[in-house]
Amino acid sequence: MIDFQIKSLGSMPYLEAWDLQKERVAARRAEPELADELLLVSHPPTYTIGRRATEDHLRVPQAELEAAGFTVQRVDRGGETTYHGPGQLVGYPILNLKRWVQQCGTGKIDFHAYLRQLEEVIILTLAEWAIHGWRYDGYTGVWVDRPSGPEKIAAIGIKVSMSGIAWHGFSLNVDPDLTHFAHIVPCGIHEHGVTSMTAVLGRGVTMTEVEAVIVEKFQQVFKYNPAAVLVNK
């Protein structure tokens, strides 16, 4: 089993968390034997625009969003445009994929397999609240059934360095302001909506509760040794 650490960072501006990820990736480039990490965080209201996004994915002009207090940031992950904000749990695994595939015995890096594992972490987490999360063929992320049809409850977008270090990650809608998603085409998907755990359950769920389960399921899926939880490090 591989050693890893959890860092629970609370609320942090998106750019600060992005810089932290870059630092941690650089550290593993210099010292590949460093333990993997999972950074858990929430962000102030922020729209991030991935490499595959187009300008029409912002339904409101950027200047208007910024005047209303939103941060709009272009990023180097895959995917389109997404929203981060209070009530959403964001996880950034800083993971040595070369070491992980050796541990799993597959022998080569498989980006799609890594994405499916991140989805599995979310699916197992939702199951603890009896929410049936599922994979939607042709889409990345985790979905749930709603009266209006499938809705996305968790988004995933990753980047992998030339040295095989994965970063960026996933966002799970625990109890965010869902109206903020109306300002964009979430993940470039016009035909389906976005939901949250609170909306599905009809009651509140705390970030602390969900964070604890995410840690447990991440260890289970990725076969890590028990992690030390380092708060605000």
The residue among 6, 48, 21 whose CA lies nearest residue 171 is 48
Helix and strand counts by DSSP (H, E) for the chain: 6, 11
- Measured between alpha carbons, how far is 6 from 215 in angstroms, rounded to an integer? 8
How many CB atoms are located within 10 Å of the residue 66 CB? 12
How far is it, in rounded angstroms, from Cα 27 to Cα 223?
23
E strand residue ranges, the chain: 4-11, 36-42, 46-49, 71-74, 81-84, 88-96, 142-146, 149-160, 165-173, 193-194, 228-231
Measured distance CA(204)–CA(171) in Å, rounded: 18
Query: Are 76 and 53 contacting, i.e. CB atoms less than 8 angstroms apart?
Result: no
Phi, psi of 192 (to 5 degrees): -135, 155
- 213 residue type, one letter: V
Annotated catalytic residue, options 187, 197, 214, 227: 187
104 tagged catalytic: no
Q: Which residues are catalytic?
A: 187
